[in-house]
């Protein structure tokens, strides 16, 4: 494995939290899969030991996935506005946001309505085992995240067998649309509001799924998704009532956290779940 200096990166909470669902910790090693890569990462003091597959030693891909090109210190400075976010940052130091493949993030969060993180992880693994490419990580076989093309060609009953329930039709139709039209390239070229509008045209995509995709699959910093935990954050910490409109909370977060609502929301999401 390669050895790289990376002291200020919280692997556990970043890889195993609610933003990506393809990582497990086995012993002291994190093993994860995406749509076209798999990786092993292990913490060794201020260094990480790592390897990528099937392309070995692919630091360009891993550093991009871990999103090491951002000015993290400046983001922390910009969002440190009150006692709640400061407590969250202290509780989860060096929490990061990953740079995920758009289609992977989109399909993952199509699995998410009314499901827990554990439930989403189970669905993703079943989908990967049934539809994903197989890859050998040293002596371990791993299934990669299924490509949209494979899901588009699948029988919907095969998707249903992956415990996704009513979401099967949404996943199937989304995959077919992604294949029929150059949707991925077009959405990736759009500004925030335009991209959000395009995502909301898909069956089963509401505010939360759209915003999860925008943050985790397209890298927008300005917004954060409001699931049940996000709404509790706004009510418990920032004085919003239970009837507050989604768009009003979203605009407030964007302005209050200086355009880094995604990062503030990620800290606060982990923080409120532990209270």
Tens digit of each residue's pLDDT (9 = 90 or more) over 58-75: 999 999 999 999 999 999
Give the other-Cβ count within 10 Å of 115's Cβ: 16
**For residue 139, pLDDT beyond 90:** no
Least confident of 111-115, 146-150, 193-197: 111-115
> Cα 217 from chain centroid?
7
Band (114; pLDDT cuts 50, 70, 90): confident
Angle in degrees, CA 210, 213, 215, rounded to 5: 110
* Mean pLDDT across the chain: 96
Domain count across the chain: 2
pLDDT the model gives residue 13: 96
Q: Is the pLDDT of residue 104 over 90?
A: yes
pLDDT of residue 181: 78
Indicate whether 35 and 88 sit together in one domain: no
Smallest Cα–Cα separation from 123: which of 227, 22, 16? 22
Question: In this structure, is residue 56 part of a structural domain?
Answer: yes
Residue 61: inside a domain = yes
- Final residue of a domain: which of 81, 113, 138? 81
The answer as to whether 188 is a domain residue is no
Question: Confidence band (pLDDT; 50, 70, 90) for 180?
Answer: confident
Q: For residue range 23-53, what is the model confidence (pLDDT) as tens digits? A: 999 999 999 999 999 999 999 999 999 999 9
Task: Report whether pLDDT(231) > 90.
Answer: yes
Identify the domain boundary among 33, 57, 81.
81
The token pair at 49 is: 């030991």
> What percentage of the chain carries pLDDT values higher than 90?
94
- State whether 6 and 58 are in the same domain: yes
Q: How many other β-carbons are positioned within 10 Å of the β-carbon of residue 111?
A: 26
Residue 231 lies in a domain: yes
In-domain check, residue 236:
yes
- Domain assignment present for residue 164? The answer is no
In this prediction, residues 78-96 reach a mean pLDDT of 98
pTM of the model: 0.95
- Based on the fold, state whether residues 74 and 11 are members of the same structural domain: yes
Domain span at 23: 2-81
> Residues 191-204: what's their mean pLDDT?
96
Question: Is pLDDT at 57 greater than 90 in this prediction?
Answer: yes
Query: In which band, very low, low, confident or very high, does the pLDDT at 183 lie, cut at 50, 70 and 90?
Result: confident
């Amino acid at each position: 494995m390669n050895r790289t200096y990376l002291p200020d990166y919280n692997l556990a909470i970043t890889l195993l939290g609610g933003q990506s669902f393809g990582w497990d910790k086995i012993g002291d090693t994190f093993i994860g899969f995406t749509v076209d890569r798999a990786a092993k990462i292990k913490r060794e003091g201020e260094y990480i030991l790592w390897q990528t597959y099937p392309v070995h030693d692919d630091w360009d891909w891993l550093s991009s996935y871990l999103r090491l090109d951002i000015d993290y210190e400046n983001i922390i400075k910009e969002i440190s506005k009150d006692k709640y976010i400061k407590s969250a940052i202290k509780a989860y130091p060096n929490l990061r946001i990953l740079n995920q493949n758009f289609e992977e993030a989109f399909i993952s969060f199509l699995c998410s309505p009314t499901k827990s993180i554990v439930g989403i992880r189970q669905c993703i693994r079943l989908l990967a085992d049934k539809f994903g490419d197989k890859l050998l990580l040293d002596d371990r076989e791993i299934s990669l995240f299924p490509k949209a093309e494979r899901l588009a060609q699948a029988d919907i009953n095969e998707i249903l067998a992956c415990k996704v329930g009513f979401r099967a039709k949404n996943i199937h139709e989304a995959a077919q649309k992604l294949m029929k039209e150059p949707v991925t390239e077009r959405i990736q070229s759009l500004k925030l509001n335009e991209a959000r509008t395009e995502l909301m045209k898909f069956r089963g995509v509401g505010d939360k799924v759209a915003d999860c995709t925008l943050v985790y699959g397209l890298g927008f910093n300005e917004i954060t998704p409001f699931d049940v935990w996000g709404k509790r954050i706004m009510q418990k910490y920032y004085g919003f009532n239970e009837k507050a409109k989604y768009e009003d909370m979203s605009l407030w977060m964007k302005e209050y956290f200086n355009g880094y609502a995604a990062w503030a929301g990620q800290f606060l999401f982990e923080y409120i779940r532990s209270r």
